[in-house]
């Protein structure tokens, strides 16, 4: 699922820097939800209407979403100026993973990497749009893997190797019958879509699952870890569908990559089950926090049970009796604050009212 890019090519020449930042901010905050994958394009040397032309000509234009047919005019213009796509653009697919935008670059339709200065400019703009937002290139991160994450990074490396092998597979022998031009174009589009999807999945295996595996070993997984595993599962399903819907020729080309991905499904299931098994309950997190602060240890099963009742009573009090109806996140902060002040034995739900009175 994607969305349309609001900027038309005819309006690009009059685009002001402030209007561009506002547009990009809207797309990232309102449209590009966590886990979504959309097309992206980076145009190099954009001239912003309200900036000095010489300085502006060195700045990039980072765009997200499906471009309309008006953008074909840009390519016609550049061809007339004897420029190819590799001279002025980078394109591919962008996946949002929390505060990270993972870019899977399609080298067949422009540059294969983002120039360092252009990347710096884009990250500076993203920092204005949303604090902590960054971009990374979805080319796999197996070289950066640590020993505790072999399962996740092993899948990534195997998949990346399979993609390269598929890309290097020779074309059909000269004796084979010539395919219809329309079929060739369709097969090319299918291959590009599968390749992009596999690269994104490979990068997720090397980032999200790496973090989940580490948290599983620590014994402290959370809802974020479950969500990360679900996102990888979703990408698996997308790759499977693309593969199954493609022609036999494309399937043959990517058979090795597909087989590698399928074999990793079992490892993904193991990590998923481990993450769910070790996910801490709210009561356990509060109890561990309390006893870590007061006794420098984690809570026992009996103490966790005690906190479960404490939490249940506090929620009930806030809903039915407290004059300060607040979100549960704030309520639990007040709960822990009061518990640390008076101790678990002397804790009463109504004591949180005094704390909430100051912040509500």
Work out the number of other CB atoms within 10 angstroms of the CB of residue 116.
8
- Residue 69 C-beta-side C-alpha neighbours within 13 Å: 0
* Dihedral, CA of residue 279, residue 283, residue 285 and residue 290, to nearest 10: -160
Query: Is the pLDDT confidence value at 278 over 60?
Result: no
How far apart CA 108 and CA 57 sit, in angstroms, is 25
Instruction: Describe the strand order of the beta sheet including 59-64 as a list of residue ranges.
Output: 59-64, 37-46, 89-97, 100-105, 134-137
| pTM > 0.95 | no
**Which DSSP letter does residue 254 get?**
T
pLDDT number for residue 162: 52
What 3-state DSSP class applies to 176? coil
Taking the alpha carbons at both ends of the chain, their separation in whole angstroms is 39
Q: Is the pLDDT of residue 167 over 80?
A: no
* Higher per-residue pLDDT: 275 or 307: 307
How does DSSP classify residue 172?
Answer: P
What is the per-residue pLDDT across 191-201, written as a single tens digit (0 to 9) for each? 888 888 888 88
pLDDT (tens digit per residue) in 18-77: 888 889 999 998 888 888 888 898 988 777 877 766 555 567 889 998 888 777 777 677
Convert the pLDDT of each residue in 138-164 to its tens digit. Answer: 743 333 333 334 444 444 454 455 555
Pairing verdict, β 100-105 and 89-97: antiparallel
How do residues 338-352 score in pLDDT, each as one tens digit? 999 999 999 999 999
Residue listed under structure tokens 């640390």: 340
Assign 17 to helix, strand or coil. helix
The predicted pLDDT at position 146 comes to: 33
Task: Please state, in angstroms and rounded to a whole number, the distance separating the CA atoms of residues 208 and 310.
Answer: 34
Domains recognised in the chain with CATH numbers:
9-137 (no CATH), 145-169+182-277 (1.20.120), 282-359 (no CATH)
- CA 26 vs CA 45, 87, 307: distances in Å: 23, 29, 42
Do residues 257 and 165 lie in contact, with contact meaning Cβ atoms separated by under 8 Å? yes
pLDDT, mean over the chain: 77
| Residue partners of 33: CB distance under 8 A and separation at least 6 | 96
Which positions ≥6 away from 44 have C-beta within 8 Å? 60, 88, 89, 90, 115, 118
Evaluate whether 24 touches 64 at the Cβ level (below 8 Å). yes
């Amino acid at each position: 699922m994607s969305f349309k890019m609001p900027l038309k090519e005819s309006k690009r020449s009059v685009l002001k820097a402030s209007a561009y930042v506002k547009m990009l901010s809207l797309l990232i905050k309102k449209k590009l939800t966590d886990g979504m994958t959309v097309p992206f394009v980076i145009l190099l040397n954009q001239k912003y209407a309200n900036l000095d032309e010489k300085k502006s000509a060195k700045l990039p234009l980072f765009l997200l979403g499906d471009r309309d047919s008006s953008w074909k005019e840009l390519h016609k213009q550049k061809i007339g100026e004897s420029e190819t796509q590799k001279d002025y653009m980078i394109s591919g697919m962008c996946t949002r993973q929390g505060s990270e935008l993972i870019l899977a670059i399609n080298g067949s339709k422009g540059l294969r990497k983002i120039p360092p200065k252009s990347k710096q400019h884009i990250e500076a703009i993203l920092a204005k749009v949303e604090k902590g937002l960054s971009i990374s290139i979805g080319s796999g991160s197996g070289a950066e893997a640590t020993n505790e994450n072999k399962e996740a990074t092993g899948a990534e490396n195997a998949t990346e190797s399979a993609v390269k092998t598929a890309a290097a597979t020779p074309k059909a022998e000269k004796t084979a019958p010539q395919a219809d031009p329309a079929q060739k174009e369709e097969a090319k589009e299918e291959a590009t879509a599968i390749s992009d999807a596999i690269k994104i999945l490979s990068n997720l295996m090397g980032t999200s699952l790496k973090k989940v595996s580490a948290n599983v070993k620590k014994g402290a997984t959370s809802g974020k870890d479950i969500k990360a595993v679900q996102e990888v599962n979703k990408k698996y399903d997308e790759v499977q569908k693309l593969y199954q819907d493609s022609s036999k020729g494309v399937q043959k080309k990517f058979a090795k990559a597909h087989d590698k991905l399928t074999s990793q499904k079992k490892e993904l299931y193991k990590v998923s089950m481990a993450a769910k098994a070790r996910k801490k309950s709210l009561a356990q997190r509060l109890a561990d926090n309390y006893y870590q602060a007061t006794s420098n240890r984690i809570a026992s099963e009996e103490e966790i049970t005690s906190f479960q009742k404490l939490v249940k009573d506090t929620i009930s009090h806030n809903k039915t009796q407290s004059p300060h109806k607040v979100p549960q996140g704030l309520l639990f902060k007040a709960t822990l604050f009061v518990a640390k002040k008076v101790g678990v034995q002397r804790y009463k739900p109504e004591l949180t009212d005094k704390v909430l009175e100051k912040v509500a």
